Structure 1
């Protein structure tokens, strides 16, 4: 009853607040608040933002259900809080005297800027919006913009008007009406050549014209054609050509809706005395390429110089680079015709070496050349520091560590072998404390982890044969060789691990990337598998609850002084006794114990993975501010084939008859996955984002399951946000393990992003997905993907979130609700846990996808 009354009271307060708000509070009696503005084109309402943005005045932004939240925030602020304070202070002289004695005259004067006096009002004004007052002058200018817009899109006879309606005291609406008329089409294009060189180049590219006969007139087509022709001419040697040399003469064909176009390309204009002289354009060629490796810029100051591949390299001191490393990154060569493209790709290639600052490239006319159409290209480079050291320090807390200290250090060495190679060395050390783990010596820091990585990058493909025929330098190829080691003590199962990778990557096109890991080696050695039940406590509790039902049959040595299973040895002995029928249990309990035993074996086994994979990525995103794009990532991986080939006799096996190398069963599997992301920019501050992911790993040969580190999990900040990471699935099992994983995954997310105020943005999302076991050793039907009917086990999470844009990163807070939970019986899956008490709060950096 009390809860019901509280809810009624809350609803009453909210409704009262909404009705008490007055949007015209700051609007004078003789003016109008603009509450609505719409555009009708040929009597049809327009929703296209490109058109709506032509209005110079729009109503105040609305939040939910059309409520003008920002306007109300502005109205809640005091008009002049500081002046109101001063008036209040001077209203009674004793107030000023009393405050001056308590504080000081200076502090009393400064109280006007205090938060409780004017600070709140200032915040409301900064994040709110002042009322949009109807301005007829801006309305008239808006009609002009509509006519210009449709004129530029081929409706040369477009006419625009407006109508203002007073809908309430101090409130008004505007309706713009546009009559487009008939569209005009390009009927003929006449090219008027100005020189032989320009004409010959134009003939090579005229079939790719943006404008064309029969197309509806569009001003942007003419601008794009001007840019396209300019780019073509400059990339084919016409060094002095600029866009302003291209002009159009457009005129109507009698009284029809046909347009004739004269394409006019002027000659080059140069100043001669006090007049301009026109002359035909020339094609310029590169006569010299000079590279100044330390930005000296003057050859007479160079202490070291060399000519390599017809490129002159200068240095004010001894040259610290192999000439080939520099010339391989340069695409401007003597004898080439001038090209903006070669200049751009050279700049990008030199930047990708990551041993120089952004390069500067200039061209000067070669006065010594008799043809008078030769250029000298000077490339100025400023080397980055050879050594860069960085260090970091962090305090940590996790479900295992109550308190931890993490230290990291890294050293970058550039131009290691004078061929633009980059060597990166990094290390980390972590010490921590945990009350959950066994600590007989009562040492505070009873956890530790140490590791290091080395990575060497070459700006080319390292192969015993030439690859430039199918991976040219323009694709920016790189080779990376990396290795890493780490050692954990008293964290989890205590692990030693080693990784080694030999990879190649290149860009077939500007926004496409291919990466091949020729060798991807990972070795994991679990030092203390008996710590398993000390770490995975929920699994221990499940096992112990079964043991409590068979206390009479259990060997007392399996138990500790509290009468529960001893975590390290007792748990293992109890599982073995159940599985070999030494302890009779019910079929249901035996199934659970077998499942726990299988997972124990899986997570405590040592892993040796020798894999090869290829990853292909393609994106249409031009930059970080491009919100209308799609991206595709596909990956295929195969593991174990090389080791199986080397281990032909299969003579060494473990207790499960798996072939071993170095006493470790090596993994054999194939794995494929695909991820597709599509974003639609609905308006300047509204984006609809989607993500689809599918992955499947199939064990074969020497493996009956996928290594844990190569499996899939569901839930978490960047996945299904209504579940914690590793807590969803597999299938309809209900996430009963501490870390739930499987070898098949499907995921789909839909997110609507919108602006709330300033840098604060909001989102409403739906996440759908789950993981399953398939083609592996798991037998429990709740875990397995049986057929298409298993898609009923796709979990659905919905929620909302906030994002604050700090420009260099985005802080994200999401709240997810379990909307459809496959862990329940089919009839009870919808909205059973849809409440704040079971919501999951996710904190992350940047967008989830």
Structure 2
């Protein structure tokens, strides 16, 4: 209550400085100095479409009474979200935690908690807590489309359709299914040994997210969390690149997410499994992997069974003069399998197999740091990304799906996707499928400015590369060297437009390569010969790049 606070300003310091003294009012009413306890807790649940004459049905659990215009939620869901009980001392922390938990359930469009004196006797020091909740739409449908064009002559449409139910089983359980598909065909001549007439990808992703931590037994430390989720996912993907291979992948995992504060989130997957299988290959692909053991092994060892942890600090939910986003992640694979597979075997028998399949063994570290300097109708964003993966024991290389790539709409925008690096390796006659590496460094700087209510312009510059930990004799110059890596950075710059519709963002960028990791005619920089403009890249994408 602002009437209970005094603010005194001392301006005698001069030089445009002053001292501020903040203190409570000396003549506070007795009621303001008293401790209050919670008496009753009443919850009202309705829909925005309800009329004022809608009938209320009464239910409840323990000390919470619930009035609702329909059978929307199980009382247990509300009970677990409310962090105060009848008879508790009023706590602002409990109020904030309850507010955050109710909002994080994802099923309400409106949440309000109000405290009122219990009964006519204001000296009883009892408060009634009233919680008003308005249900949001449970079913949502999203649709994304794009058009893919590549310098290799391939072009085609892509589409993704998703449907989700935010309140499955009346338990605030989010069930989501996404279908994605894309087709690419090549203009011009085709090879006889290709796997069909066009490349395609089809996938289905499904997830079930519960609004609590499902653990073997209850833990006291979970009571004051503002966010807690348990997610189970199951994904399938079929990819055919007609010039190289046909591949099938299946991924499943269990993930816990929790937060004591809104800006710090922890995620832990005690188990995740990703299995990738080559179904069919072309002679061109066989020739590539036959000549390079590194690439052959990266496709062979793609049975991944491990765990991962991510720490995220993100205060961008509220625009401030300065916002920060930071994510640190670590994941490992194959350690448990290696203990089992190695029983009774000698190290000379490596690589071991599980169920007649080679498994991947590695540890991987990633870091993503972003800084937002906000002004009126403009923002300067800086980003730095670093990652490294280390294969060991049962693996000589990282599996293909865990390797790092550089270039493209969300990376260095002056270069094709997955075309940069590794190191200063470059072979214009190379038939490598994608350029990949064990390590990545990337930095981006983007200045965004308002043009109209929904349109923003942007200037950007990106730099970075990928490298290998070990030298690959078929790709000389690809190994990371602390003394020379800075001379192997690709640099791209460009301009773009962002169409911000609040609920989603459309983005167009034109990127120009101004420095290559490798020298051309003795020079890395392209600014003096016109190649930067002749090799411009155009991107149409969904969302900001970072």
Do the aligned partners of residues 262 and 693 (structure 1) sit closer, same or farther apart at CA in structure 2, a change above 3 Å counting? closer
Secondary structure (helix, strand or coil) at the match of 1:643 reads: helix
Q: Quote the Cα distance in structure 2 between the aligned partners of 1:663 and 1:498.
A: 17
Q: 1:423 aligns with which of 175, 182, 201?
A: 175
Matched, 1:698 2:390: yes
Deviations 1:480-526 (A, max 9, x none): 11111223456552121100011111123221111112112111111
More strand by share: 2
Structure with max Cα Rg: 1
Deviations 1:394-438 (A, max 9, x none): 47444486445646353426242x443222233345566556767
Choose between structure 1 and 2 for higher RCO, CA contacts under 8 A separated by at least 6 residues: 2
Matched, 1:306 2:60: yes
Secondary structure (helix, strand or coil) at the match of 2:109 reads: coil
Matched, 1:611 2:306: yes
Larger displacement relative to structure 2 (761-770 or 398-407): 398-407
Q: 1:633 aligns with which of 327, 331, 335?
A: 327
Matched, 1:817 2:509: no
Partner of 2:111: 359
Does the 8 A contact of 1:365 with 1:376 survive in 2? yes
Deviations 1:647-686 (A, max 9, x none): 23376999x95222233211011111222222334x4245
Partner of 1:330: 82
Do the aligned partners of residues 833 and 526 (structure 1) sit closer, same or farther apart at CA in structure 2, a change above 3 Å counting? farther
1:541-552 equivalences in 2 (<5 Å) = none
Deviations 1:213-234 (A, max 9, x none): xxxxxxxxxxxxxxxxxxxxxx
Q: Quote the Cα distance in structure 2 between the aligned partners of 1:441 and 1:666.
A: 29
Secondary structure (helix, strand or coil) at the match of 2:220 reads: coil
Does the 8 A contact of 1:765 with 1:800 survive in 2? yes
Do the aligned partners of residues 648 and 350 (structure 1) sit closer, same or farther apart at CA in structure 2, a change above 3 Å counting? same
Partner of 1:676: 369
Q: 1:802 aligns with which of 475, 488, 496?
A: 496
Does the 8 A contact of 2:365 with 2:388 survive in 1? yes
Partner of 1:487: 238
Secondary structure (helix, strand or coil) at the match of 1:358 reads: strand
Partner of 1:380: 132
Matched, 1:731 2:402: no
1:577-656 equivalences in 2 (<5 Å) = 594=291, 597-598=292-293, 601-602=296-297, 604-605=299-300, 607-623=302-318, 625-626=319-320, 628-649=322-343
Secondary structure (helix, strand or coil) at the match of 1:507 reads: strand
Q: Quote the Cα distance in structure 2 between the aligned partners of 1:422 and 1:254.
A: 58
Q: Quote the Cα distance in structure 1 between the aligned partners of 2:12 and 2:118.
A: 49
Secondary structure (helix, strand or coil) at the match of 1:344 reads: helix
Q: Quote the Cα distance in structure 1 between the aligned partners of 2:346 and 2:164.
A: 42
Secondary structure (helix, strand or coil) at the match of 2:102 reads: helix
Does the 8 A contact of 1:689 with 1:752 survive in 2? yes
Q: 2:403 aligns with which of 696, 711, 727?
A: 711
1:61-460 equivalences in 2 (<5 Å) = 242-248=1-7, 265=25, 267=27, 282-294=34-46, 303-308=57-62, 310-315=63-68, 321-367=73-119, 371-384=123-136, 388=139, 390=141, 392=143, 394=145, 396-399=147-150, 402-404=155-157, 406=159, 408-412=161-165, 414-416=167-169, 418-429=170-181, 449-460=201-212
Deviations 1:192-217 (A, max 9, x none): xxxxxxxxxxxxxxxxxxxxxxxxxx
Does the 8 A contact of 1:705 with 1:776 survive in 2? no
Secondary structure (helix, strand or coil) at the match of 2:485 reads: helix
Q: Quote the Cα distance in structure 1 between the aligned partners of 2:420 and 2:463.
A: 11
Do the aligned partners of residues 287 and 437 (structure 1) sit closer, same or farther apart at CA in structure 2, a change above 3 Å counting? farther
Q: Quote the Cα distance in structure 2 between the aligned partners of 1:843 and 1:283.
A: 58
Deviations 1:364-397 (A, max 9, x none): 32116684332211223334455x2636474744
Do the aligned partners of residues 433 and 740 (structure 1) sit closer, same or farther apart at CA in structure 2, a change above 3 Å counting? closer
Does the 8 A contact of 1:699 with 1:776 survive in 2? no
Matched, 1:517 2:269: yes
Deviations 1:282-308 (A, max 9, x none): 43321111123447999x965442332
Deviations 1:557-613 (A, max 9, x none): xxxxxxxxxxx7xx58xx96xxxxxxxxxxxxxxxxx3xx33652464361011211
Number of residue pairs aligned between Structure 1 and Structure 2? 531
Q: Quote the Cα distance in structure 2 between the aligned partners of 1:761 and 1:390.
A: 27
Partner of 1:658: 351
Q: Quote the Cα distance in structure 1 between the aligned partners of 2:140 and 2:12.
A: 71
Q: Quote the Cα distance in structure 2 between the aligned partners of 1:703 and 1:713.
A: 20
Does the 8 A contact of 1:331 with 1:342 survive in 2? yes
Deviations 1:170-210 (A, max 9, x none): xxxxxxxxxxxxxxxxxxxxxxxxxxxxxxxxxxxxxxxxx
Partner of 2:228: 477
Q: 2:437 aligns with which of 722, 742, 747?
A: 742
Do the aligned partners of residues 488 and 761 (structure 1) sit closer, same or farther apart at CA in structure 2, a change above 3 Å counting? closer
Q: Quote the Cα distance in structure 2 between the aligned partners of 1:670 and 1:441.
A: 36
Q: Quote the Cα distance in structure 1 between the aligned partners of 2:136 and 2:380.
A: 41
Does the 8 A contact of 1:660 with 1:666 survive in 2? yes
Do the aligned partners of residues 600 and 443 (structure 1) sit closer, same or farther apart at CA in structure 2, a change above 3 Å counting? closer
TM-score under structure 2 length normalisation: 0.83
TM-score under structure 1 length normalisation: 0.56
Q: Quote the Cα distance in structure 2 between the aligned partners of 1:258 and 1:264.
A: 20
Partner of 2:414: 722
Partner of 2:460: 765
RMSD between superposed Cα atoms in Å = 4.0
Q: Quote the Cα distance in structure 2 between the aligned partners of 1:719 and 1:438.
A: 31
Do the aligned partners of residues 398 and 261 (structure 1) sit closer, same or farther apart at CA in structure 2, a change above 3 Å counting? closer
**Structure 2 unpaired stretches of 5+:** none
Secondary structure (helix, strand or coil) at the match of 1:601 reads: helix
Deviations 1:788-837 (A, max 9, x none): 2233212233x331324434255444443333323116952233655411
Q: 1:667 aligns with which of 334, 347, 360?
A: 360
Q: CA deviation at 1:721?
A: 2.1
Q: CA deviation at 1:458?
A: 1.4
Secondary structure (helix, strand or coil) at the match of 1:719 reads: coil
Q: Quote the Cα distance in structure 2 between the aligned partners of 1:371 and 1:723.
A: 72
Does the 8 A contact of 2:425 with 2:477 survive in 1? yes
Q: CA deviation at 1:315?
A: 4.3
Q: 1:791 aligns with which of 486, 496, 501?
A: 486
Do the aligned partners of residues 723 and 401 (structure 1) sit closer, same or farther apart at CA in structure 2, a change above 3 Å counting? closer
Deviations 1:128-168 (A, max 9, x none): xxxxxxxxxxxxxxxxxxxxxxxxxxxxxxxxxxxxxxxxx
Do the aligned partners of residues 663 and 800 (structure 1) sit closer, same or farther apart at CA in structure 2, a change above 3 Å counting? same
Q: Quote the Cα distance in structure 2 between the aligned partners of 1:720 and 1:607.
A: 27
Q: CA deviation at 1:342?
A: 3.2
Q: CA deviation at 1:330?
A: 0.6
More helix by share: 1
Does the 8 A contact of 1:508 with 1:514 survive in 2? no
Q: CA deviation at 1:727?
A: 1.3
